[in-house]
Chain A
């Protein structure tokens, strides 16, 4: 077949390795990938990420950070699904949670995945921090990433604190009461902090709604922004050599 008779939908560019790789032996998916790569130049930047060499001595202990991120992904997915049914109002919060648990198909699994992933995330964050601390990986030049990590620890704990109130049962109500009263005991600023958390002098409808808004809008935004910073710095600086 002469080059002129070649069907025009098969991209060819002289000297382009990607185009040269288009052979009759390649599968349909591979050719779609070739076409995307030819237009958007995806493989080189992707390769720069995927083919990054690791230093020697990397062990399973280095997986805690990734596992924490995995827990976050599970929490985000199940959290979005729960948001389809949960109602952040004192009238319906308890009933909507009970309905998710009792009447929604797989609702109990959904809610418990969210709950246990939350516990797991806190535990994994602690494991990750201990690993980084023991390996001394927080030292120069990685101090800034440690600082971002500490911010994210506080965000994760805030996720737990705000999420705990949402079922609006006795345990949720009184645990939040205790937590806010602890904030109240901070010198000078305590009463103001407590009022800001409650949205007033009493724990009630406004408290539930602002905890919900923090839980599903503010904290995820802060965490995702911090995660991007965290990962970008790890990429830029590489993984610290272990002990």
Chain B
């Protein structure tokens, strides 16, 4: 056996004439000759031609190149199908929306704000157990503003400005929500009075059960 660098001497190799690889499998000699001849008239040289395939016959090497291309495409698609869902799925999951107690409606527990005065806007909060991926579950306290609308109905505002998420303050004097970041002002119904916010305050869906106010999912303001 000769372990040298010599290439096979078979004359049938279509790419080894003259020692140079002049012809690419995707543009074989037929393809190069085709141009001038097919400029105006139907292809006269290649008879077993599939129309729309650039007028070239399917040779063995073209078939193999396409097969290899398809195989690479299938492998790439499979790898993408396996890796993309795990990368995308956590980003598009739903928010936690268990019904969570805010406080008693009539008589507050010690340390809780009094929600009983009709028309009052009260700073309060609720606490949810957050499961953050692989981290141990932990309690997270979320501030809200609760407005007693009367007749046992409540509006629970998210305490963040809808402009860029800064925390809001409630002004008893003007009965307005104020944002310190960019001077936004919301009225007591959560509508924009002044400043850059694109929409009214976000609010939680809420319900009263057995004298306790619960909040659920956060809903976008103005929707």
Taking Cβ atoms with an 8 Å cutoff, the residues of A that contact B are 17-18, 20-23, 25-27, 30, 33, 43-44, 46-48, 50-56, 70, 73-74, 77-78, 80-81, 84-85, 87, 92, 95-96, 98-100, 103-107, 109-110, 113, 136-137, 139-142, 237-238, 240-241, 243
- A103: chain B residues within 8 A (beta carbon): 133
- A107: chain B residues within 8 A (beta carbon): 86
- Chain B nearest CB from A105 CB (Å) reads 4
Cβ contact within 8 Å between B21 and A99: no
Cβ contact within 8 Å between A99 and B133: yes
Q: Kindly state the separation between the CA atoms of A147 and B9 in the bound complex, as whole angstroms.
A: 30
Cβ contact within 8 Å between B35 and A21: yes
Q: Kindly state the separation between the CA atoms of A207 and B65 in the bound complex, as whole angstroms.
A: 47
- A50: chain B residues within 8 A (beta carbon): 24-25, 65
User: Nearest residue in B to A54 (C-beta to C-beta)?
Assistant: B8
Q: B44 at interface (Cβ–Cβ under 8 A)?
A: no
Cβ contact within 8 Å between B26 and A55: no
Cβ contact within 8 Å between B134 and A53: no
User: Nearest residue in A to B8 (C-beta to C-beta)?
Assistant: A55
* A92 touches which of B3, B86, B134 (Cβ 8 Å): B134
Cβ contact within 8 Å between B32 and A20: yes
Q: B55 at interface (Cβ–Cβ under 8 A)?
A: yes
* Interface size, B (range): 35 or more
- Chain B nearest CB from A155 CB (Å) reads 22
Cβ contact within 8 Å between A53 and B15: yes
Cβ contact within 8 Å between B82 and A23: no
- Chain B nearest CB from A12 CB (Å) reads 11
- B8: chain A residues within 8 A (beta carbon): 53-56
* A87 touches which of B7, B38, B134 (Cβ 8 Å): B134
Cβ contact within 8 Å between A243 and B79: no
- B7: chain A residues within 8 A (beta carbon): 53, 55, 238
Contact with A along B1-25 (1 / 0, CB 8 A): 1111101101001011000011111
- Chain B nearest CB from A140 CB (Å) reads 7
Q: Kindly state the separation between the CA atoms of A113 and B90 in the bound complex, as whole angstroms.
A: 20
- A80: chain B residues within 8 A (beta carbon): 83
**Beyond A17-B35, A78-B82, 19 additional pairs, beta carbon < 8 A:** A17-B32, A23-B39, A27-B54, A30-B54, A51-B24, A53-B8, A53-B15, A54-B8, A55-B8, A70-B75, A77-B79, A78-B83, A81-B83, A84-B86, A95-B135, A104-B86, A104-B89, A106-B85, A238-B5
Known: A26-B54, A84-B87. A241 touches B3 (CB 8 A): yes
Cβ contact within 8 Å between B55 and A25: yes
Cβ contact within 8 Å between A136 and B1: yes
- B35: chain A residues within 8 A (beta carbon): 17, 20-23
Q: B61 at interface (Cβ–Cβ under 8 A)?
A: yes
Cβ contact within 8 Å between A51 and B3: no
Known: A51-B21, A140-B3. A113 touches B15 (CB 8 A): no
Cβ contact within 8 Å between A74 and B90: no
Known: A47-B24, A110-B83, A113-B82. A141 touches B4 (CB 8 A): yes
- B25: chain A residues within 8 A (beta carbon): 47, 50-51
Q: Kindly state the separation between the CA atoms of A54 and B12 in the bound complex, as whole angstroms.
A: 12
Known: A46-B24, A48-B21, A241-B3. A23 touches B38 (CB 8 A): yes
Q: B34 at interface (Cβ–Cβ under 8 A)?
A: yes
Closest 7 CB pairs of A and B: A47-B24, A20-B35, A99-B134, A51-B15, A105-B89, A95-B134, A81-B83
User: Nearest residue in B to A22 (C-beta to C-beta)?
Assistant: B35
Cβ contact within 8 Å between B82 and A44: no
- B87: chain A residues within 8 A (beta carbon): 81, 84
